[in-house]
Amino acid sequence: MKPGRQKSDSCTSFLESGNPAFMAAIDGEADETTLEYLRTHPEYAHEIERMRELQTRLRIRLFRLFCPSSDMLRDYQLGLLTEEQHQAIAEHVALCPHCAAELGLLTTCS
Amino acid sequence: MQQSRVIAPAPTGNVQAYHTYETPLQYMELSVLMKHCSAESERFYRGQEHDTRYSYELFRRALVERDEAAWEQLYQHYTGLVEGWVRRNSAFISSGESSEYFVVGAFTKFWRAVTPERFSSFPSLASLLHYLQLCATSVVIDSVRAQSWAEIVPEDMVGADIMSQHSPDEEAMNRVQREEFWHFIDTQLHDEIERVVVYFSFVLGLAPRAIFSRRSDLFTSVNDVYNVKRNVLGRLGRNAQLRQMMAS
């Protein structure tokens, strides 16, 4: 809290507090010290819940948006795609742990 | 075993010398073909030398000629094999689905993927069976994807529109809408660092520690990831247009 602020300003969004540990609470990565602080400062609970809901809504719309279908991964694994498709999927798999794991499953089952 | 052979006397007139001609496979009656398939499959399972031509012909009729009777026989002949593959897949056990669900799904994917034009990409029975096995695996992968999707959606946010099965057209439209949503989000980002955090957080669904682990070249510590995410979420949360898009 900045000097001179009224007590009611303690409810100022924790986003403005600049404390990265509060963000960790949204993803379940907060340490015990942060969790204990949040338990003793319930005014932050609403803000955390609001951010968590925003994050969930974003994930619902964006989760694995660019991942190829399992059919494409299957044909990629066998080399049945065009060169352009193959390259695009190779670049994606290098980045996406989910597709990399699924490709591993296809390779194992082969 | 019934065999289709034509016996003709030898040109010399010696009745004890005959030429025998086997019916070309493509003209063989389906019931006869299936007997050969069963016999050769039995030899395969016993580790004996076996002839794959008959089963390959069965696949050809089912997939190139789109012969329904041949397809039905193929399904019956190989359903046990496919079920074995499914049951040995580690992801099957945790899926909660029946093996029959995956078997049907595997054959459906196989039928759709191996068109008459594509059949030549599979020059042997082994290659066809390999592809059928991969189709079974991809059905399992689809199931696992659906499960992971369900894990990110809280129960109170599960609605009929989110979890219902969509037609291909609806799925395509849905994807277009989601891509448009991503393009809008992208316009709200200030730099590549924010783009990385947003992509890894919401498209890949990774937590900040995992993001830092993967992109430690961009961040000094996980706190940097938290800070970027805080700024982005704050900005997005105040965006009236975005709130409207998410409400629709």
Coil vs helix vs strand at B232? helix
- Give residue B245's region: left, alpha or beta (phi > 0; psi -120 to 50): alpha
- Assess whether pLDDT exceeds 70 at residue B222: yes
Query: Is ipTM over 0.85?
Result: no
Listed range (A40-49, B37-46, B48-57) with the worst mean pLDDT: A40-49
Q: How many structural domains compose chain B?
A: 2
Closest CA to A61 of B177, B192, B170: B177
**B93 is a domain residue:** yes
Sign of the torsion formed by the C-alpha atoms of A92, A96, A97 and A102: negative
- Assess whether pLDDT exceeds 80 at residue B57: yes
Say yes or no: B145 and B31 in one domain: yes
Q: What is the pLDDT of residues B177-195, one digit of tens each?
A: 899 999 999 999 999 999 9
- B203, A110: Cβ pair inside 8 Å? no
The band of B168, judged by pLDDT with boundaries at 50, 70 and 90, is low
- Nearest by CB to A62, from B202, B207, B237: name it: B202
**B15 is a domain residue:** yes
Q: What is the DSSP code (8-state) at residue B206?
A: -
Interface size A-B, in CB pairs within 8 Å, comes to 129
**B159 is a domain residue:** no
- Assess whether pLDDT exceeds 80 at residue A5: no
- A65, B178: Cβ pair inside 8 Å? yes
Say yes or no: B148 and B169 in one domain: no
- Nearest by CB to B207, from A27, A63, A71: name it: A27
pLDDT at A63: 93
Say yes or no: B95 and B195 in one domain: no
**B157 is a domain residue:** no
Contacts of B223 in chain A (CB under 8 A): 20
Closest CA to A55 of B178, B241, B202: B202
Q: What is the pLDDT of residues A25-35, one digit of tens each?
A: 888 888 888 88
Say yes or no: B177 and B66 in one domain: no
Say yes or no: B192 and B220 in one domain: yes
Place of tokens 């089952």: A109
Cβ(B34)–Cβ(B58) below 8 Å: yes
Q: How far is A4 from chain B (nearest CA, A)?
A: 25
Nearest CA in chain A to B246: A57
Say yes or no: B66 and B182 in one domain: no
**B160 is a domain residue:** no
pLDDT at B91: 78
How large is the average pLDDT for residues A26-47?
A: 84
Sign of the torsion formed by the C-alpha atoms of B152, B156, B159 and B164: positive
- Nearest by CB to A63, from B152, B157, B175: name it: B152
Domain of residue B187, residue span: 165-247
Q: Which residues pair with B19 in a beta bridge?
A: B8
CATH number of the CATH domain containing B217: 1.10.10
Q: What is the pLDDT of residues B131-166, one digit of tens each?
A: 999 999 999 999 989 888 888 776 666 554 444 455
